[in-house]
Amino acid sequence: MKIIDLARNMIRLSGHEPDEIPIEIIGARPGEKLREELFGPGERAVPTDADRILRAERAPLAPEWVEDVFERVERLVARRDEAYLGQALSELAREALAAVGTGQEDRARKDVEALAQQ
């Protein structure tokens, strides 16, 4: 979706017409995107009951994998090392997000296991 189209849509959604509110094109700032991807890898757009509103859908995680991750988090908590727990959970979150919908549950499981054994 182009940013200009998003700006026009936002103006319409606020009850105005795009010609009523000027849109000023000032150029991209360093690092600024010209287009925004709305769906991530492994996600697909699914229509909703609302007109022109889509939701992301992805394959569910295997229940066994989720249970395994929670068991490992419980072991991390039992260590009572707050600094390590924060670091391990941060890494776990990154790995879990990478695994969602991409078929990488096995890789994430191995990484979590390695963190729990440290």
Tokens of 29: 């700032």
Tokens of 99: 């695994």
The whole-model pTM stands at 0.42
Read off the pLDDT of residues 45-95 as tens digits, 9 standing for 90 and up.
Answer: 999 999 889 999 987 877 887 888 788 888 888 888 788 888 878 877 777
Read off the pLDDT of residues 6-32 as tens digits, 9 standing for 90 and up.
Answer: 999 999 999 999 999 999 988 888 888
Residues in the chain: 118
pLDDT for 115 = 55
- Residue at 5: amino acid letter: D
In this structure, are residues 77 and 86 in contact, taking their beta carbons and an 8 Å threshold? no
| CA 103 to centroid of chain Cα atoms | 16
Residue in the structure block whose two tokens are 């260590």? 79
pLDDT for 113 = 59
| CA 87 to centroid of chain Cα atoms | 19
